[in-house]
Structure 1
Amino acid sequence: MAPLLLQLAGLGAALLASALILKQDPTFTYEVIVVDDGSKDQTSEVAFKYCQKYGSDKVRVITLVKNRGKGGAIRMGIFSSRGEKILMADADGATKFPDVEKLEKGLNDLQPWPDQMAIACGSRAHLEKESIAQRSYFRTLLMYGFHFLVWFLCVKGIRDTQCGFKLLTREAASRTFSSLHIERWAFDVELLYIAQFFKIPIAEIAVNWTEIEGSKLVPFWSWLQMGKDLLFIRLRYLTGAWRLQQPRKVN
């Protein structure tokens, strides 16, 4: 079974699911897991209609009573999945599902995978110049400040850690998400920090991306919280409060 689509709460919860279901390839097997992170819109209702139409073996819905944050919701979906490859994607449709083929190619280009682990990250870095032209100087300053903190404290070599479009092998998803602590917006950074610690190969792939209105992120306060989370990640691992250990080889 490959790849799995993992979606988060939002009014467009079924958009990417419908694109996946219509994929015309008789050898392609899939499951869609929609995780509703305590939303107050019609996410679960829309997703349940797809579940009834295509069956629970193809489409499943996880409804969280209390909001756990993006990282917590995705981890719940990851551990409920059965796929050999796992795609996490935001439900707002900002990244178009056909770009999953780019991620698959990027993942395959990393072979041979050590211990069957590899990650392909969608990236909007190639759109940075265009986005800067549309942003205020203040938001641009915040963006560069966040990128610097990510590079300085946690993750080297990945220009866009926050794109919500990532494809992981099952083994890589299990290794990284089982060690994850951050459940809010900065979880992507810890995810990639863990992946680099375990020397999991990572490909960064340019994808199409569209700005979707109605984002829950308030630039200053959200980025301030993410900045605090970055410091928290670094200090926790540096002091040994959080530990990552290489799995023991069994003869």
Structure 2
Amino acid sequence: MSDVEVSVVLPAYNEEATIERTVEVTLETLASFLPADAFEVIVAEDGCDDRTPEIASRMASEDDRVRHIHSDERLGRGGALEYAFERAEGSTLVYFDTDLATDMKHLEELVESVRSGEYEVATGSRWMPENKAERPAKRAVSSLGYNTLVRLFLRSDLEDHQCGFKAISRETFDALRGEVEDEHWFWDTEVLVLAQRRGYRVKEFPVDWEPKGDTKVDLVRDVFGMGSQILRTWWQLSVSPRLSRRVSMAAGSVLVMLALVVAVGVVFDLEAVFDAMSGADSRWVVASGVVYLLSWPLRGLRYRDILDRLGYSGDTWFLTGAIFISQTGNLVFPARLGDGVRAYVVKARRDVPYPSGFASLAIERVFDLLAITVLAGTVLVGLVLTGGTDQIAQAIAAEVPPVTVGGETIDPGAAARTALQVAAVVGGAAVVAVTAILLSARRDSDYVHRAVTAVSNDSYADYVAGVIEQFVGDIEAVISDRSAFARVGVGSLVIWVVDVLTALVVFYAFGDAIRPALGGVITPALVATAFFAVSVGNLAKVLPLSPGGIGLYEGAFTLIVFGLTGIPAHVAFAISIVDHVVKNAVTIVGGLASMAWLNVSLTTAVEESREANEVEAAAATED
């Protein structure tokens, strides 16, 4: 049985210039208040590529009190500490930064606070009134802001969570390590927060501290890494425990139903619009829903082709269900948060990494925009050649008074011109984006890495750049492959043609109301108008201003239909509502059915998908 009571871990990454001196000072300080056989010093060398391993091994061979624990792969600071603590022999586990920024005169108080049994956790603090700490402005502002957020969101009573000078009992470490998720810079903060939440005694005491070397405060690491970890921990500790699966399913279903009610309630001339809607043939309205339903397996098939090109398999029906759920989420939550739901579903059920999951969504969006642009552009060329675009604006400006949509009064003529501008700008942006990706796919360049590291010199930026590069690379993998490009592109066109056919069936349901203006029901002019109206309406929905684009779609659709066909504005608006409600209703029913089939809670999926926004710290370097 070992006599070691105290294990001091020195997390080291590329510390060849200082590690020997740090170990010597640590041994000398420990020996001043502990018996010679009561402590050990462990160099937790985390995948170094300098002489640190060689130095640590030599010191371990020369002194039995020194141990060298090596990791071939980068574990991150938290990961390296856990790895070493698990292999340490002492009942009191200690660590501090190898730069010895904290005055070593405090080491005895740190160790004895836990070794004596008075506290389970002890930590030095640079923010207590009694201490002496030199803080460059960049460090001070960052540290003060970070600690304020931890106290505010995570209800911590401590002043300083980041000071690299801490001790914890073996029993407490064993009890908490399974709950700690971070593997890098947030690791010790998470330990402190969890220790307080679990009722362990935590001692915070002032230390004299002097920074050594240049500050390593970093934009990418600190903002994306630490900030996202605070939000993740807050969600897990304060929100998630209150969300049972039953509560989540109920809340998600209620929100979905409310979205449907909102969709029906968006009107500007309530009586006239309802009169027009009541005159529609319900049989053809139902038929339009059946037509629209046919597009969903096509969406699943297209998504399967995209994932297959990225190296991940998935059956069409499962992927169709995942799309149903994510699109339902987009109806419920603003800013297209439902897209994250699909990334979560394919990660949880098919092990598709988040970067690839979001890349597959981006690919789908690119092809959707291209397909819509092709359809709208074909009609737009004809309108430009025949003066039809001016006809839209002039007809609306001359015949329609100002319209209130979403509580805001707009000039219909100006709105018509805006709708056309949206189509042109968004469509053009889609083409430019795809062109850029296609060009990039054929070059061996490192634009992403250079852009990210331009604002950050920390190696954490390398990890962030790697995530972005994987995302862009996945998009390029599909777009740069001619066969995949053609297959997914044709599938996208067919999907949107079915979307237009759905609208045409809705038009047919309003046959009596539109016949006087058209001299018939489904005329060639109406078919062209439907393609343009549906395309522009969906381009307007690109703007994440409302759940499911409710209001945006109807406004653009109405302006186009009225301006090109002469169908009364209130009838055109009624058609747009029915068309959008039919499509949203099919989406909602399919989403609820898919949630039940795949046992997925919408709110839980949104919660879990936030993980995609956390830039994990495991691959970053030692501070």
When normalised by structure 2's length, the TM-score is: 0.35
1:110 and 1:201 in contact (8 A); partners too: no
Which residue is equivalent to 2:70? 63
1:15 and 1:93 in contact (8 A); partners too: no
Which residue is equivalent to 1:194? 194
Q: Distance in 2 between matches of 1:110 and 1:72?
A: 26
Which residue is equivalent to 1:221? 220
- The residue type equivalent to 1:54 in the other structure is D
Which residue is equivalent to 2:181? 181
1:219, distance to aligned residue in structure 2 (A)? 3.1
1:222, distance to aligned residue in structure 2 (A)? 2.5
- The residue type equivalent to 1:67 in the other structure is R
- Structure 1 residues 142 and 100: CA distance shift in structure 2, 3 A: closer
1:72, distance to aligned residue in structure 2 (A)? 0.5
Secondary structure in structure 2 of the residue aligned to 1:175: helix
1:110, distance to aligned residue in structure 2 (A)? 6.8
Which residue is equivalent to 2:9? 6
Q: Distance in 1 between matches of 2:185 and 2:203?
A: 21
Q: Distance in 1 between matches of 2:236 and 2:165?
A: 27
Task: Out of 63-72 and 118-127, give the one that drifted further.
Answer: 118-127
Task: Out of 139-148 and 32-41, give the one that drifted further.
Answer: 139-148
1:27, distance to aligned residue in structure 2 (A)? 2.8
Post-superposition Cα deviations, 1:79-106, rounded to whole Å, max 9, x if no partner, equal: 0111021111111221233321121344
Which residue is equivalent to 2:340? none
Q: Kindly indicate which of the two structures has a greater share of residues assigned to helix.
A: 2
User: Does structure 1 residue 27 correspond to structure 2 residue 32?
Assistant: no
Secondary structure in structure 2 of the residue aligned to 1:144: helix
Which residue is equivalent to 2:21? 15
Q: 1:42 is matched with which residue: 46, 51, 74? A: 51
1:141, distance to aligned residue in structure 2 (A)? 4.0
1:74, distance to aligned residue in structure 2 (A)? 0.3
User: Does structure 1 residue 204 correspond to structure 2 residue 211?
Assistant: no
- The residue type equivalent to 2:147 in the other structure is H
When normalised by structure 1's length, the TM-score is: 0.81
Q: Which has the higher contact order (CA 8 A, sep 6+)?
A: 1
1:208, distance to aligned residue in structure 2 (A)? 2.2
- Structure 1 residues 200 and 144: CA distance shift in structure 2, 3 A: same
1:15 and 1:91 in contact (8 A); partners too: no
Q: Distance in 1 between matches of 2:106 and 2:92?
A: 15
The within-5 A match list for 1:1-251 is 1-9=4-12, 10-11=15-16, 12-22=18-28, 23-24=31-32, 27-28=35-36, 29-55=38-64, 58-107=65-114, 111=118, 118-126=120-128, 131=134, 134-136=136-138, 140-214=140-214, 217-224=216-223, 225-237=225-237, 238-240=239-241
Which residue is equivalent to 1:246? none
Task: Please tell me whether Structure 1 or Structure 2 has the larger radius of gyration of its CA atoms.
Answer: 2
Q: Distance in 1 between matches of 2:122 and 2:61?
A: 32
User: Structure 2, unaligned stretches of length 5 or more?
Assistant: 242-603, 605-623
Q: Distance in 2 between matches of 1:198 and 1:210?
A: 32
Q: Distance in 2 between matches of 1:140 and 1:214?
A: 13
- The residue type equivalent to 1:27 in the other structure is P
- Structure 1 residues 214 and 42: CA distance shift in structure 2, 3 A: farther
Which residue is equivalent to 1:249? none
1:32, distance to aligned residue in structure 2 (A)? 1.4
**Aligned-pair Cα RMSD in Å:** 2.5
Q: Distance in 1 between matches of 2:217 and 2:162?
A: 15
1:155 and 1:192 in contact (8 A); partners too: no
Q: Kindly indicate which of the two structures has a greater share of residues assigned to strand.
A: 1
Task: Out of 3-12 and 75-84, give the one that drifted further.
Answer: 3-12
- The residue type equivalent to 1:34 in the other structure is V
1:94 and 1:210 in contact (8 A); partners too: yes
The number of residue pairs the alignment matches comes to: 230
1:140, distance to aligned residue in structure 2 (A)? 4.5
Q: Distance in 2 between matches of 1:200 and 1:78?
A: 19
- The residue type equivalent to 1:230 in the other structure is I
Identity over aligned residues, as a percent?
Answer: 24
2:132 and 2:209 in contact (8 A); partners too: no
